[in-house]
Homo-oligomer: A and B are copies of this chain.
Amino acid sequence: MTRRDYGQYCGLARALELVGERWTLLIMRELLARPSRYTDLLDDLPGIPTNVLSTRLKELEEAGIVERRIAPAPQRGILYAPTEAGQNLQGAVIALALWGNAHLGEQEPNEFVPPSSVVMALRATFNPGAAHGLTATWEIHTGDAVMYAAVADGQLATGVGPAPGEPDLVITVPSDEVLTYRAMMQAISNGAAELTGQQSLLEKFARVFTPRAATKAG
C-alpha cells in the first residue's frame, strides 16, 4: 500500500483514491458547473494554493476525469472540462452536497456561496415531469454571479455564466452577496426579483425546480 492507496478492491476506496484528496471534489464541482481556466479556478476557489491546483488538475487529467481543451477564439488559453467519467461524478457530488446542507448552520461572515453550488442545487431539484413539453431559457443574477438554466425536450442544461442563447426571462435577485439556492428561491417566491422578458415563465421556473426530500439510510 502506497501512501495514496488504501489496498482495498472496493468502489468507495477507489473513488477516494481518485478524488478523495483535499480540494479535488470542489474543483470537480466548479468544472461540472462550467469548463474553467486555471485562473478561473483560482478565483472561484479562494485559498487553494497554485501548486495544489496544478497537481490536482494533472492527476485528474491522468486519471481521465478531466481533459484540457483549447479555449475558443475570444478568450484563448486552456479550458479544463470534465470527461464523461468526470460528469458521472455529479451524482456523488450532489449526494454529498445534500448531506452537507443539513450541517451548514448559519452562514459565517467569512463564508461565501459559490455560484457552482447553486447550479448543483438547480440540477438536484430539477423536476423532469414539470419540464415536460416546455422550452425556456432563464438567466439568473444574484450578487455578482450569473447563472442560466435552459429546458428543452424535458432536458436541463444549466451552468455558471450567461445563457448560451438569448434568455426568455432574466431574473435578478437583488443582493450584495451571492445567495444560496434556498434564499434565492424564497426571494423569488416573495416577489423580490426583478424580471426582464416573459414574466409568465417565472411561475414555470418555480415549478421546474422543486426541492424533494433527501435520501434516507437503508
- Within 8 Å of chain B (Cβ to Cβ): is A195? no
Contact present for A47 and B112 (CB under 8 Å) = no
Q: Mark A77-88, 1 if CB is under 8 A from B, else 0.
A: 000000011011
Q: Which of B1, B88, B97, B113 contacts A110 (CB 8 A)?
A: B1
With both chains docked as a complex, state the minimum distance between the C-beta of A109 and any C-beta of chain B, in angstroms. Answer: 10
Residue of B nearest to A89 (CB): B99
In the complex, what residues of B have CB within 8 A of residue A217's CB? 32, 84, 87-91
B91-A46 in contact (CB<8A): no
Closest B residue to A1 using CB positions? B47
- Copies of the protein in its oligomer: 2
Interface string of A1-19 (1 = CB under 8 A from B): 1000011111111111010
| Contact across chains for A12 and B90 when beta carbons are under 8 A apart | no
Residue of B nearest to A23 (CB): B6
A103 to B11, CA, bound (A): 8
A102 contacts the other chain (CB 8 A): yes
Q: CB within 8 A of A117: which of B8, B47, B63, B88?
A: B8
